[in-house]
A and B are shown apart, each in its own frame.
Chain A
Amino acid sequence: EPEVTQTPSHQVTQMGQEVILRCVPISNHLYFYWYRQILGQKVEFLVSFYNNEISEKSEIFDDQFSVERPDGSNFTLKIRSTKLEDSAMYFCASTGGSYNEQFFGPGTRLTVL
């Protein structure tokens, strides 16, 4: 069964460093999303991506964040200068239609020290 994969599973970084979180969505999907979950809190929408551009972003997704789909298979989330409050679990999701089931990856746990 096709699945969304994410790497790494756990990333530890120093405050101020850049991190890139990687996702491989399901191959025939067209819509891609990033969500995050701070420990003990709800899952929050960050950004949606369709047709090689951002279709919607939340207030959390400021200038420190960027996304791209560099090669037609990977979907990446970059944080340019990490802050302590960026520590969270980051989930990638994809779907074939914008209101179909979103398939989630297992997440990347980001720890900023």
Chain B
Amino acid sequence: AQSVTQLGSHVSVSEGALVLLRCNYSSSVPPYLFWYVQYPNQGLQLLLKYTSAATLVKGINGFEAEFKKSETSFHLTKPSAHMSDAAEYFCAVSAPGSSNTGKLIFGQGTTLQVKP
């Protein structure tokens, strides 16, 4: 079975500072990993995904994440936070295989606050 743990339900950074949102996963097979962002009153939007190609994945809005198998991690980073990055961020895992249907298993979410 797959699971996702996001460390820190709330992260606060200053504008221009590094953003680091942590995600650890558990999967019995090599996983596909995703980061989604949710702005207030909107649906989930894909930031980036890892599907067993390059371990460093670049996404939209300057975000990137690195897949580290040895640490079972997929942390999300951005070098310089903008006020517009304030949102809820979800890490999700999916496990390829004939018995799986592509369902996403989500972490608890991390609220990113960006201070001026």
A104 to chain B: which residues have CB within 8 Å?
36, 43-45
Inter-chain contact A106/B90, CB cutoff 8 Å: no
Indicate with 1 or 0, residue by residue over A4-48, a CB within 8 angstroms of chain B CB atoms. Answer: 100000000000000000000000000101010000011111001
Given A4-B43, A107-B43, A42-B109 contact (CB < 8 Å):
yes
Identify B102's interface contact among A42, A43, A91, A102, CB under 8 A. A102
A101 to chain B: which residues have CB within 8 Å?
34, 46, 49
A:84-113 near B, CB below 8 Å: 91, 93, 95, 97-107
Inter-chain contact B51/A99, CB cutoff 8 Å: yes
Indicate with 1 or 0, residue by residue over B31-47, a CB within 8 angstroms of chain A CB atoms. Answer: 01010100001111110
Task: Decide if B101 is an interface residue (CB 8 Å cutoff).
Answer: yes
16 A-B contacts, Cβ less than 8 Å apart? A42-B107, A42-B109, A43-B104, A43-B109, A44-B106, A55-B101, A95-B102, A97-B102, A98-B100, A99-B51, A99-B94, A99-B96, A99-B102, A101-B49, A105-B43, A107-B43
Interface residues in chain A, defined as those with a beta carbon under 8 Å from any beta carbon in chain B: 4, 31, 33, 35, 41-45, 48, 50, 55-56, 91, 93, 95, 97-107
